[in-house]
Amino acid sequence: MPSQAQRQAARRLDELRAEIERLDHAYYVLDDPLASDFEYDQRLRELQALEAEFPDLRRPDSPSQRVGGAARADLAPAPHDVPMLSLNNALDDAEAEAFDQRVRAALGGAEVRYCCELKFDGLAMSLRYQDGVLERAATRGDGSIGEDVTANVRTIRAIPLRLAVPVAGRLEVRGEVLMFRRDFARLNEHQRAADAKAFANPRNAAAGSLRQLDPAVTARRRLHFYAYGMAGAGGDGEPGEAERTWGGGAPPAGQAALLDRLAALGLPVCDIREVVAGIDGLRDFYARIEARRETLPYEIDGVVFKVDAFAEQRRLGALARAPRWAVARKFPPREASTRLVGIDVQVGRTGALTPVARLEPVEVGGVVVSNASLHNEDEVRRKDIRIGDTVLVRRAGDVIPEVVAVLPELRPAGAVPMVFPQNCPVCGSPVERGEGEAVARCSGGLICGAQRKQALLHLAGRRALDIDGLGERIVEQLVDLGLVPHPAALFDLDAERLQALDRMGEKSALNLLASIDGARRTTLERLIYALGIRHVGETTARDLARHFGDFDALAQADEEALLRVRDVGPVVARSVRRFFDDPRSRAEADALRHKLQRIDPPPPAAVDAGLPLAGKRFVLTGTLPSLTREQATEAIEVAGGKVVAAISRKTDFLLAGADAGSKLAKAQELGVAVIDEDGLHALLRPQGAG
């Protein structure tokens, strides 16, 4: 039977926990502090002292469990029961209209009601509650498997360790971890005072804080959280999961009702949200939020439109990586001017030489930019970019920095034109430029350290062999120290050699070796993509794998056999054949293949029909005015089209930008329709729209 002291301690602990949770909610959710930091710390210290004196009274949902904790050696994988999907982007009004058109067409043509929310510039997070108590927190990862960051998330005071209303069973909340502007400024002041590197933007600061090995470091970073969904609700999971999750009670019928329910459970939900009708409502919400963007206490890079009714979400379904019932309407790129102080030449995986502008650091859209792509030699000459110029820099799609133009009126007298190298700046091999091509390439192949490094990073990528932990810093050392003279040698590494690397401890070395060992079991399409054959992307690798079904059959296929593969044209066929005819490439491919234990064929692909560009094949070339290659590809694929590498008579459209090169001439020769970026938007625009 509990003693009188224990009963008194239990009552006081309940009072302290309730008081601290109330203060946390006021500060982090309502942004309305009710006590000074000193007063808060006094209550927390009293709580910790009582729990230390009466350890049997300590609870896992106590506010004392938010801070401290032993440092962890790694972040364990955290599989998602329901995949965490990404969102497709709409970059302008035409693409937002196309989204509404697709939704209305799929739902019968009537005007649709949408729930409009903010698109936070943070880190997607899954919170799993069991019987109302926080059990696990995980990052999105690749959508299927994330990182377990439970210990760190417990330090985020905006996140309740116990829900305000009891919920039986499991409930998985999805949301965004972010850092407010004021806390980001405070963190960087601290970093500079400690002579440490400042963070580039709040998103990077939030992501880095969550991945700290010591939760106490995360606790000092003042992270925030906003809930925006739940696994199993609406189109985010199997029908019926939401009913089970709510413990048999009536589930919310739509997104807006779900957000209200999450707020009632004590979860932070952004109050800037509303339900609107049709495309006019979407346009109005976007315009109002864009006007308020700079006044918000946190960074956003757009807004999110979601079909409100869950029944309609389920009817619409999802693509492989994104739901059809939601889209992120991104804000336009941000621009700034700065001085170009130099031009470096980087060597890529296929030997491509890319000029990169070195800039006086400038903030562009909340990110400090010091380097920007110049694409190729012809682009430098076309824009007449010189060292010493003042240039206009833009983050295309709010992500990738690029030099948009020179400001000639500010050109100094000593501005120096770029001299493009005739030999590789890394290995000294001759630089070659094929007839009609815009890109010059190092001819050294894998004897070039830069190409070998990029080949290893490509091979380790999530869509290739997926070797977690093999990042740029480790690859640099492996190549520079001669530990991996060719890609297959990656599988010969041992713990002793890895531990010789800078900042590589025993546990990290063993984790990397386990990841490398796990990559020995893969699929044929991943292996083909991992080889880095020029012009062979993910889609073509999948088509080759499905057509030949066997590595040796592919390696022995002549160009005529390759041309029989769906969407493979002469350029791709010639590139594949050239790769396997090159003794060095074939030896590398065979060596890599023999290091693998199992190579499974990929499952058959689902065919998407009924979309505006269904069945249409596109080839992309040149530099588009506002879209990156990835953004254009995504827009085409979301609309049901397919992007292939090479022009053939089966190609429906060539999407051509500046410096289109030989593909434009080939398209004209074959009679393939040539469109520009405006033409693409016209294809995506709803019929009858102006």
Which residues have a catalytic role annotated?
119
**What tokens does 286 get?**
């976007």
DSSP class of 597: S
Residue 499, by phi and psi: left (phi above 0), alpha (psi -120 to 50) or beta? alpha
Alpha carbon 530 to its chain centroid, in Å, reads: 20
Q: Starting from the edge strand earliest in sequence, which strands make up the sheet with 133-139, in order?
A: 133-139, 123-130, 170-178, 224-230
Q: Starting from the edge strand earliest in sequence, which strands make up the sheet with 300-307, in order?
A: 89-90, 326-330, 300-307, 113-120, 274-277
Dihedral angle sign, alpha carbons of residues 585, 586, 589, 595: negative
Angle between helical axes of 570-581 and 583-595 (0-180°, round to 10): 80
> In Å, how far are 117, 189, 348 from 183, measured between CA atoms?
23, 10, 38
CA distance 408 to 388: 11
Could you tell me which residues come within 8 angstroms of residue 299 by beta carbon, excluding any fewer than 6 positions away? 120, 121, 122, 178, 181, 201, 202, 203, 366
Alpha carbon 638 to its chain centroid, in Å, reads: 17
Q: Mind giving me the DSSP string for 414-438? A: T-EE----SB-TTT-PBEE--TT-S
Q: Burial level of 205, CB count in 10 A (0-12/13-18/19+)?
A: buried
CA nearest to 391, candidates 350, 431, 356:
356
Q: What angle do CA 32, 292, 100 make, to 5 degrees?
A: 115
Contact (CB, 8 A) for 151 and 69? yes
Could you tell me which residues come within 8 angstroms of residue 75 by beta carbon, excluding any fewer than 6 positions away? 147, 148, 149, 211
Q: Burial level of 82, CB count in 10 A (0-12/13-18/19+)?
A: middle
Termini Cα distance of the chain: 79
DSSP class of 170: E
Contact (CB, 8 A) for 355 and 374? yes
Could you tell me which residues come within 8 angstroms of residue 399 by beta carbon, excluding any fewer than 6 positions away? none
DSSP class of 332: P
> What letters, b where the CB count within 10 A reaches 16 and e where it falls short, cover 673-687?
ebbbeeebbebbbbe
CA nearest to 342, candidates 393, 416, 394:
416
